[in-house]
A and B are shown apart, each in its own frame.
Chain A
């Protein structure tokens, strides 16, 4: 089995249900919550099976909580609200994801973005980047350009 990247199917449904807030929204007739959610990024072993069928975050296949890795991952920096250009809406983290002085518990090749604010830790997307192990060093994921062509999440 292997990890495969994609936007989680359950996430698409949850967008229609208003389950995720990547940016703050004004209070209106049906919603009073005006704060955005916190999204986390967790790393998964190359032997794991994270796919678009994932519905929630879990520790199955995640890096062990050793070597300066904390299970659950790290918060995604989210200073910029979603935007739109032309007919495409998009969202991009505003900073890189970085694990310093890391020694990974094995070879890993995927990151799961999930909604840490949601009660059940709803899955958003899986991104793969080829396998590597980290030993006493830093692993960094630098985000794509924040635009309608490259952003991490786009709805066209």
Chain B
């Protein structure tokens, strides 16, 4: 068990986890927070990239009424 190499699923199939480099990018905005998790292989090619967006704020429609 100790000799097993963890694998990660990428665009090039299952590859050893230690053959890719992980980058985590945060994008914090007023309306949303986004985290991007990116994996690059030894050549720098992106072989896996996911993103998760938390919408902090939806949309408002203003109700308007006329006065007599």
Contact = CB atoms under 8 A, between A and B. Distances in A.
B59 A125 contact: yes
Main secondary structure of the interface of B (DSSP, over half): strand
A66 interface: no
Interface in A1-60: 5-7, 12
A132 B51 contact: yes
A111 to B, nearest CB: 9
Interface residues of A, number: 31
Contact-size category for B = 20 to 34
Interface of A: 5-7, 12, 90, 92, 103, 125, 127, 129-130, 132-144, 150-156
22 contacts: A92-B58, A127-B55, A127-B58, A129-B53, A130-B29, A130-B53, A132-B51, A135-B49, A136-B11, A136-B47, A137-B37, A138-B52, A139-B52, A141-B55, A143-B55, A144-B57, A150-B57, A152-B55, A152-B59, A154-B60, A155-B61, A156-B60
